[in-house]
Structure 1
């Protein structure tokens, strides 16, 4: 099925280049914090995909599923990501990270429950938990930018 044409919207990068650069710097800083904390880059892509699924961001889903595949991620895990809680394909650490990312994304549904946070702290160090929260926050922000400006996969 061909992609439908979408009415163009404001070009944030062109109109607010300084803010866009700051957003990119935040993304790079969060990725660097995750690397320094020893988090697996593949886990970060899973988080970016799952958060983008929840938010319905087609642009980010396209980008991060491609990035995950390029990084060697198993197709079955990508397909099963929306059902990670029922899938046998994810480790306890990945489950804890995905649970935390979902809670951060759905914070309006009841904050980040203690049991979700506790599960993350049982699997990850404090710097890793901090990095997971930052990565989740940044992809949520990017989802909102892409959705509100109607960015489409190319």
Structure 2
């Protein structure tokens, strides 16, 4: 795969702002393990190889079990996720593939039962951020693994 455009170079001010949004996630009320699952699931759904590669490696570096990484595509059938994680994954899916008529009250209530209003707001910003990254990296065919050294992802041991 050949990268189409180096958007970081072409639009550095936008890149900086999106990076700032992603860095702010670390200060959010949502635990790191759930943020990793959200980033991985959205990237799978959007077909973003660059982001999926990056977030699997980050999750592994931060101690996520490999089997749970493999199970993110089958989270509904898997017994490896807590109710809170399931709610986060469901919220990620519904916001990533927004239905024509929006988010149903049933889904909202189910997810809201696991998250405070602040947490649900923070989770929504996490979903928004990863979807933005997915879209730009898919559009410009950013090569998976191409930023491993720069982001310290080689320590994941998943070359």
TM-score, structure 1 length as denominator?
0.89
Q: Which structure has the highest helix share of the two?
A: 1
CA-atom RMSD in angstroms: 1.2
Shift of 1:31: 3.2
Match of 2:42 among 51, 59, 84: 51
The number of residues matched between the two structures is: 145
- 5+ unaligned residues in a row in structure 2: which ranges? 146-159
Match of 2:128 among 104, 124, 137: 137
| Deviation beyond 6 Å, 4+ runs, structure 1 | none
Of structures 1 and 2, the one scoring higher in RCO (CA 8 A, sep 6+) is 2
**Alignment check: 8 A CA contact 1:100 1:112 kept:** no
From the superposition, tell whether residues 107 and 149 of structure 1 become closer, same or farther in structure 2 (CA, over 3 Å).
Answer: same
TM-score, structure 2 length as denominator?
0.87
Shift of 1:109: 4.8
Match of 1:128 among 113, 119, 141: 119
SS in 2 for 1:85: coil
* Aligned counterpart, 2:23: 28
SS in 2 for 1:98: helix
Shift of 1:106: 0.6
Shift of 1:10: 1.6
- 5+ unaligned residues in a row in structure 1: which ranges? 1-5
- The reply to whether residue 92 of structure 1 matches residue 83 of structure 2 is yes
